[in-house]
Structure 1
């Protein structure tokens, strides 16, 4: 590159979000709940691991595809970016850089992006959300593990990204893509960018659209008030978490997983243990009883987590499967 200019920092304005900063991490640090089966609860506590899923194997993977596919097509249609690059030749060379990055992502990098999903949780709520019990909590027979994000330290260049999901209609999300492109074009037009910096500029634009794809969803999911923790291998040049990449066999299908160890980890999660993170464990309302509560508490005590056993509560929602 012809100079040492920081293009990633220069294009920071394209990261302006529909949510104000005080509603996003790290300024906002809510409780977040992970709804799961009792078997998964046992595995998390026993192994002190939290498994992140690849979005291609998640039930709402179309949401990620929506962002990636439409950002690519809207980029190709965008006149502002074309005009900002001043000549057809410069535009063609920049376009080729952007498309090359999308192609490389499709060929391999998409395989090593992993997501952990949570629902924002009210501290006074010992019941949880009925829709979440039905969708993710083993039809009301599972558990909601409530984590406190206030104990997390913000670590510069951590390979983990945490943020809330922003919801919109398909039309609104397409408009957000266009707004990102127009802001990007404005910044390109304001600076004489040498062609050997096109790769850095294309990378900055793609990273913004990758985040858009991961952290936005159709407004039909808005009741979930979802937060996501995201890992991508290209966020991790120092290979802090690469030894946690693994797999799981589900019904004969092999799925890639990130098996994240819940422990103090320099560069990713300093000073955090399971006992520090978990503020309560809510048992689902389907078949809730004193006996089932005592059984789960016994399980946690046997697994060497008596502090977590004391934090077990039971949902009192009158449960119907439909």
Structure 2
């Protein structure tokens, strides 16, 4: 088995939910949509960049806290002991190392994580109307995105995408126990891998659990998160600046929409990334449609008018 195959197998052991969802997304040709304000959507196209905001400034103030509460419950109730026992048999002392690293980085996950959120786009009526609950929560523009941009494996941006798991504390604990069953079943394979690699996967399992677990009441959002933690893993390509959003000055991390074949960055240019712009319930939709067509044309997008769609959903005020 090649090094790449070993890495993939470890990913499927420690991140089964994420890998299954990614496989399904690829097999089904799933697209994604970013619901946002007209101003943010226009800046994304004109400036050729995607903004990531601190988790503490996001729409749901508990973006990270819920995942932490679910993980803390597993540890506080002793349900983590079997996880420790399995890894201890593979590599003596490794569970302590993973937990120590997580404790070190936990505060950074809480206050130094930058996120942007996308949603699974189901096509059909959603191509015509979008999803009403998302219009109400996040804004009047939906930018439908080429999924290839989120399925790459490069570390050049130190920015990663993952599907969200919608679980309460009890559901999270049950899923954690299922995960440990899988780790135990694969323990011989794990023990034959390099210690530092297994340690990294163990830490990342905890990191993803915190960053990508959300209250089940939000399940209709079908969210995937794009996240970046510059204090943990920085990228020279991701820039940081202070921007004012809804009257609040705040630090923002920016992903450049530029391809770079040397480091494996592809499908990021506006013409490749933006498949469709859906204008939802918002003032002056046809004026905005004209503006977005002009913005796309300025970036060399051919037949830009065919990528902009007005839903004509009435705006309730």
| Partner of residue 179, structure 1 | 178
In the TM superposition, what whole-angstrom CA distance separates every residue of 1:71-127 from its partner, at most 9, and x where no partner exists?
24424513324544779xx6xx55542332222213435544322211222344221
User: Which of 215, 220, 236 lines up with 2:212 in the alignment?
Assistant: 215
Aligned equivalents of 1:18, 1:272: Cα separation in 2: 22
| Partner of residue 79, structure 1 | 81
In the TM superposition, what whole-angstrom CA distance separates every residue of 1:153-202 from its partner, at most 9, and x where no partner exists?
62344533233323234421221123334544565688779xx95x7654
Q: Is the 8 A contact 1:281 1:313 kept in 2?
A: yes
Structure 1 spans left out of the alignment, 5+ residues = 1-5
> For residues 1-322 of structure 1, what are the structure 2 equivalents within 5 Å?
12-17=12-17, 20-21=20-21, 23-75=23-75, 77=78, 78-84=80-86, 94=94, 96-108=96-108, 110-124=110-124, 125-137=127-139, 142-150=140-148, 154-157=152-155, 159-184=158-183, 197=195, 201-233=198-230, 236=233, 239-242=235-238, 244-250=239-245, 253-266=248-261, 267=263, 269-287=265-283, 290-298=286-294, 300-301=296-297, 307-320=303-316
State the TM-score, normalizing by the size of structure 2. Answer: 0.77
How far is 1:264 from its partner?
Answer: 0.5
In the TM superposition, what whole-angstrom CA distance separates every residue of 1:118-162 from its partner, at most 9, and x where no partner exists?
12223442211111111111xxxx311111214666234453323
Q: Is the 8 A contact 1:68 1:210 kept in 2?
A: no
Structure 2 spans left out of the alignment, 5+ residues = 1-5
For residues 107 and 174 of structure 1, do their structure 2 counterparts lie closer, same or farther at Cα, with a shift above 3 Å needed? Answer: same
Q: Is the 8 A contact 1:50 1:262 kept in 2?
A: yes
- RMSD of the alignment, in Å? 3.8
Tell me, what secondary structure is at the counterpart of 2:129?
coil
Aligned equivalents of 2:30, 2:130: Cα separation in 1: 15
Pick which of 143-152 and 155-164 moved more: 155-164
Q: Which has the larger radius of gyration?
A: 1
Q: Is the 8 A contact 1:143 1:281 kept in 2?
A: yes
For residues 66 and 280 of structure 1, do their structure 2 counterparts lie closer, same or farther at Cα, with a shift above 3 Å needed? Answer: same
Q: Is the 8 A contact 1:64 1:213 kept in 2?
A: yes
How far is 1:48 from its partner?
Answer: 0.7
| Partner of residue 3, structure 1 | none
Tell me, what secondary structure is at the counterpart of 1:126?
helix
For residues 97 and 19 of structure 1, do their structure 2 counterparts lie closer, same or farther at Cα, with a shift above 3 Å needed? Answer: closer
How many residues align? The count is 304
State the TM-score, normalizing by the size of structure 1. Answer: 0.76
Aligned equivalents of 1:43, 1:150: Cα separation in 2: 22
How far is 1:305 from its partner?
Answer: 5.5
Tell me, what secondary structure is at the counterpart of 2:133?
helix
Tell me, what secondary structure is at the counterpart of 2:64?
helix
Pick which of 244-253 and 115-124 moved more: 244-253
Aligned equivalents of 2:302, 2:191: Cα separation in 1: 62
Q: Is the 8 A contact 1:24 1:164 kept in 2?
A: no
In the TM superposition, what whole-angstrom CA distance separates every residue of 1:15-70 from its partner, at most 9, and x where no partner exists?
22277356545445422111122211221121111101222321235242222343
Aligned equivalents of 2:58, 2:169: Cα separation in 1: 20
